[in-house]
């Protein structure tokens, strides 16, 4: 029995916010913030409600041409009920400076010491993008992928840590925190469950019998200006992207991350998972944009989170009768 009806954007619920809606929300935010200088709840609610519900709120920020989208949505109780804020507008194209570097010449992937912090906007939403028919799905994996386009139970919307590429499509961006002395890099995705992934850069090898986890065990090395990160020891409790591209615990996930200039991060991944695919495959290049001043903030995913409800059942009607497993 369908007990409630909502009008969600086409193409997969609120976390597939279409660009028009995103721009509308962002512009609304920019106007609210710019005109009044205060964070009007109505504006915050609009953005957060659209975005936070299911994980694509960053779209709102990216659509804001004026770059004034930081609408501190604390208390926003829009449809999505998240704690949203818009990000810096992608349209605010600052002149592109060269890739910042550490004294040893390696690229800085995150904020530059001595300069305002920033983060990367969401940019990796669909791993098979642009080559879907070439993806060597095993039959079950293809069927699961198809099924997930209809019935979305993405763990991320239920505040579950979601590793590898899913860290780069969270609502409010992703921050790299580099600790050269520790030879580690931390990847923090806001809009998730307040957690982070560690990438070890100290030359270690993978341990044997890695206990499977949501973020897995990541080891990186530099290939020229590209950081190559291999992750193993992943469990099956998350999706790799917002579209539900399947994987199993046999997954070895290799990322190639290149900051080609100050404002641009190129991202490519190779999926080697004999449990779900008949051969390894590599994504096309994704581009993430630098959002200066975009600092991580406290995001309590569980608070007023209506994402799970929106993600159960079809996308234009909510089925509240179904048993729900977090």
Name the site residues for another protein (rule: CB under 8 A).
10-12, 138-140, 142-144, 146-151, 153, 155, 235-239, 244, 246-250, 274-276, 314-316, 322-323, 325-326
Q: Rounded to the nearest whole angstrom, what is the least distance from the CB of residue 249 to another protein in the complex? A: 7
User: What tokens does 151 get?
Assistant: 């019935």
Q: Which is nearer to another protein, 105 or 326 (CB)?
A: 326
End-to-end CA distance of the chain: 21
Full 3-state SS string of 129-178: CCCHHHCCECHHHHHHHHHHHHCCCCHHHHCCCCCHHHHHCCCCCEEEEE
Q: Cβ-count burial of 4 within 10 angstroms (0-12 exposed, 13-18 middle, 19+ buried)?
A: exposed
Q: Which is nearer to another protein, 271 or 276 (CB)?
A: 276
Q: From CA 9, how far away is CA 16, in angstroms rounded?
A: 7
Q: Rounded to the nearest whole angstrom, what is the least distance from the CB of residue 318 to another protein in the complex? A: 12
Q: Which is nearer to another protein, 223 or 316 (CB)?
A: 316
Q: Which is nearer to another protein, 295 or 319 (CB)?
A: 319
Whether 229 and 255 have beta carbons less than 8 Å apart is answered as yes
Q: Rounded to the nearest whole angstrom, what is the least distance from the CB of residue 144 to another protein in the complex? A: 6
Q: Which is nearer to another protein, 49 or 155 (CB)?
A: 155
Q: Which is nearer to another protein, 239 or 267 (CB)?
A: 239
Signed CA dihedral, 159, 163, 169, 172: sign only: positive
Q: Rounded to the nearest whole angstrom, what is the least distance from the CB of residue 152 to another protein in the complex? A: 8
> In 107-122, which positions are buried (b, 16+ CB within 10 angstroms) versus exposed (e)?
bbbbbeeeeeebbbbb
Q: Which is nearer to another protein, 146 or 285 (CB)?
A: 146
Q: Rounded to the nearest whole angstrom, what is the least distance from the CB of residue 140 to another protein in the complex? A: 6
Q: From CA 8, how far away is CA 311, in angstroms rounded?
A: 11
Q: Rounded to the nearest whole angstrom, what is the least distance from the CB of residue 141 to another protein in the complex? A: 8
User: Rounded to the nearest 5°, which phi and psi values hold at 168?
Assistant: -105, 20
Q: Rounded to the nearest whole angstrom, what is the least distance from the CB of residue 326 to another protein in the complex? A: 5
Q: Which is nearer to another protein, 235 or 260 (CB)?
A: 235
Q: If we measure between CA atoms, which residue out of 72, 68, 175, 67 comes closest to residue 117?
A: 175
Report in angstroms the alpha-carbon separations of 107 from 99, 100, 113, 180: 6, 6, 13, 12
Q: Rounded to the nearest whole angstrom, what is the least distance from the CB of residue 321 to another protein in the complex? A: 13
Q: Interior CA angle at 49 toward 47 and 54, to 5°?
A: 110
């Amino acid at each position: 029995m369908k007990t409630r009806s909502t009008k969600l954007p086409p193409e997969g619920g609120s976390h597939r916010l279409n660009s028009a809606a995103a721009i509308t929300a962002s512009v609304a935010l920019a106007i609210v913030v710019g005109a009044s200088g205060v964070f009007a709840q109505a504006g915050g609610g609009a953005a957060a409600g659209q975005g936070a519900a299911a994980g694509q709120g960053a779209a709102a920020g990216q659509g804001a041409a004026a770059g004034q989208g930081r609408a501190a949505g604390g208390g926003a109780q829009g449809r999505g009920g998240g704690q949203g804020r818009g990000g810096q507008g992608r349209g605010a194209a600052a002149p592109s400076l060269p890739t910042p570097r550490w004294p040893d010449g390696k690229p800085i992937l995150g904020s530059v010491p001595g300069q305002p912090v920033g983060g990367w906007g969401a940019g990796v939403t669909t791993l098979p993008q642009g080559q879907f028919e070439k993806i060597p799905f095993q039959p079950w994996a293809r069927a699961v992928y198809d099924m997930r386009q209809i019935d979305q139970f993405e763990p991320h919307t239920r505040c579950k840590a979601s590793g590898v590429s899913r860290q780069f499509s969270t609502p409010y961006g992703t921050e790299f925190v580099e600790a050269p002395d520790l030879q580690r890099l931390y990847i923090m995705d806001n809009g998730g469950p307040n957690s982070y992934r560690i990438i070890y850069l100290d030359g270690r090898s993978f341990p044997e019998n890695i206990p499977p986890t949501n973020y897995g065990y990541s080891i990186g090395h530099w290939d020229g200006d590209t950081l190559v990160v291999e992750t193993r020891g992943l469990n099956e409790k998350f999706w790799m992207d917002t579209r539900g591209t399947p994987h199993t615990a046999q997954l070895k996930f290799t990322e190639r991350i290149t900051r080609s200039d100050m404002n641009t991060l190129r991202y490519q991944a190779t999926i080697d998972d004999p449990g779900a695919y008949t051969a390894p495959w590599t994504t096309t290049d994704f581009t993430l944009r630098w959002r200066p001043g975009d600092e991580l903030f406290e995001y309590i995913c569980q608070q007023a989170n209506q994402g799970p409800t929106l993600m159960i059942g079809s996308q234009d009607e909510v089925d509240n009768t179904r048993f729900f497993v977090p």
